[in-house]
């Protein structure tokens, strides 16, 4: 299946934002070694995509909340149909359908963003200021727009260059190898850090899954994906890394807002009659030492009943031994 429609869509949004920033007076030339109109065009490509996908993101959070609320019923079904996988799957699908919970919804926003990432990767990889390069007007670009983007830089590092660029590629872009590696290396580290923080934020708010397989997936997202970027980031053009970092920052802000608006459901994990477990406080991802419980209040001293009305006052000295005379 041809992906040209994705390349055309990404190019159209990118060029529209570039023209918009030119219209409001953002300098076309370099300022501090950076062509800000192209950098802002990439940043607002992220904003455009995320605004379009925002309703899907809200549905994702609602679906996750529904899945969390159904965990007690899921566990009951697992106990009831232990050893009968076919019946268990049928019953769980019926439960999800009845409660309008979709287990696949949690991954949908990420999957929808993959074509955008691949489209931008392809479009930026084509950039090359070589005057003899053909097809500069592909995907709706004009030759002037293509040449302008090919020469665009971030602190003198071309946005089409990457950490793993060969000497020949850098020569075609007119780039300095040391500058490109430093700039790309810093951005890759920032990309890894923000990717880690987005996963950490979600786990911190929703908690670690009790199911071992789901917990393994959470650990993979938290540690595996950021570490994989240390290697794969070397093949990403700087412009693509700018997109990724901006997308992560947008995700952090969006998740914070949505998690406040749709807080995780409170589920009772203890049996009736058993004392509640102390809440976790501090530590990594809320997994630190248990919070110190408040000291129990001392029992109040028993009240002494007062004398009944009409009763003679008690003599406190009665029954005490008389003092000896000196």
How much is the average pLDDT of 248-269? Answer: 76
Q: Which has more pLDDT, 66 or 264?
A: 66
pLDDT digits (tens, 9 = 90+) for 22-35: 999 998 788 999 99
Is residue 315 scored above 50 in pLDDT?
yes
How far from 272 is each of 58, 73, 265, 288, CA to CA, in Å?
A: 34, 17, 19, 26
Q: How far apart are CA 77 and CA 90, in angstroms?
A: 10
- SS3 string, 82-122, reads CCCHHHHHHHHHHHHHHHCCCHHHHHHHHHHHHHHHHHHHH
How much is the average pLDDT of 135-162? Answer: 94
In the beta sheet, which residues pair with residue 34?
A: 31
- pLDDT at residue 52 in the model: 92
Give 110-117's long-range contacts (Cβ < 8 A, gap of 24+).
112/53, 112/56, 113/49, 113/53, 113/247, 115/3, 115/6, 116/6, 116/10, 116/45, 116/49, 117/240, 117/243, 117/244
pLDDT digits (tens, 9 = 90+) for 47-63: 999 999 888 887 777 77
Q: Which has more pLDDT, 310 or 21?
A: 21
Angle, helices 4-23 vs 36-69, to 10°: value is: 120
Confidence bin at 260 (pLDDT 50/70/90): confident
- Helix or strand holding residue 23 (H, E): helix 4-23
- pLDDT at residue 265 in the model: 63
- pLDDT at residue 313 in the model: 55
* E strand map for the chain: 153-154, 157-158
Pair 166, 188: CB distance under 8 Å: no
pLDDT digits (tens, 9 = 90+) for 185-227: 999 999 999 999 998 987 877 677 666 767 788 888 889 989 9
Reported pTM:
0.74
Q: How far apart are CA 252 and CA 268, in angstroms?
A: 28
Q: Where are the domains of the chain?
A: 3-261
Percent of the chain surpassing pLDDT 90: 43
- pLDDT at residue 291 in the model: 41
Is residue 271 scored above 50 in pLDDT?
no
pLDDT digits (tens, 9 = 90+) for 85-109: 888 888 888 888 887 777 666 677 7
Instruction: Give the lowest-confidence range in 6-10, 255-259, 318-322.
Output: 318-322
How much is the average pLDDT of 62-80? Answer: 79
Pair 274, 264: CB distance under 8 Å: no
Task: Report the mean per-residue pLDDT for the chain.
Answer: 80
Confidence bin at 263 (pLDDT 50/70/90): confident
Is residue 270 scored above 70 in pLDDT?
no
Is residue 264 scored above 90 in pLDDT?
no
> Token digits for 280?
């976790």
pLDDT digits (tens, 9 = 90+) for 285-300: 344 444 444 455 555 5
Q: Which has more pLDDT, 22 or 321?
A: 22
Confidence bin at 272 (pLDDT 50/70/90): very low
In the beta sheet, which residues pair with residue 280?
A: 290
């Amino acid at each position: 299946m041809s992906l040209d429609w994705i390349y055309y869509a990404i190019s159209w949004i990118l060029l529209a934002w570039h023209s918009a920033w030119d219209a409001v007076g953002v300098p076309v030339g370099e300022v501090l070694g950076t062509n800000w109109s192209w950098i802002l065009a990439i940043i607002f490509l992220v904003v455009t995509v995320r605004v379009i996908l925002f309703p899907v993101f809200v549905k994702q959070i609602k679906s996750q909340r529904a899945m969390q609320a159904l965990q007690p019923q899921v566990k009951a079904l697992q106990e009831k149909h232990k050893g009968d996988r076919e019946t268990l799957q049928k019953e769980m699908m019926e439960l999800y359908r009845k409660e309008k919970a979709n287990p696949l919804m949690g991954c949908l926003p990420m999957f929808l963003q993959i074509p955008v990432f691949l489209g931008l990767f392809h479009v930026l990889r084509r950039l090359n200021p070589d005057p003899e390069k053909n097809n500069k007007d592909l995907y709706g670009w004009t030759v002037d727009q293509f040449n302008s983007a090919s020469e665009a830089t971030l602190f003198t590092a071309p946005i089409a260059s990457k950490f793993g660029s060969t000497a020949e590629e850098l020569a075609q872009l007119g780039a300095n190898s040391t500058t490109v590696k430093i700039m790309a290396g810093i951005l890759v580290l920032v990309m890894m850090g923000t990717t880690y923080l987005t996963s950490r934020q979600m786990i911190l708010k929703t908690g670690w899954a009790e199911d071992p397989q789901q917990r393994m997936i959470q650990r993979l997202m938290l540690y595996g994906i950021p570490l994989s970027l240390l290697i794969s980031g070397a093949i990403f053009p700087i412009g693509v890394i700018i997109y990724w970092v901006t997308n992560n920052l947008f995700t952090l802000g969006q998740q914070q807002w949505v998690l406040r608006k749709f807080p995780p459901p409170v589920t009772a994990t203890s049996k009736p009659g058993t004392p509640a477990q102390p809440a976790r406080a501090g530590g990594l991802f809320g997994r630190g030492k248990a919070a110190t419980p408040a000291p129990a209040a001392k029992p109040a001293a028993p009240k002494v009943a007062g004398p009944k009305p009409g009763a003679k006052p008690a003599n406190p000295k009665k029954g005490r031994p008389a003092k000896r005379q000196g």
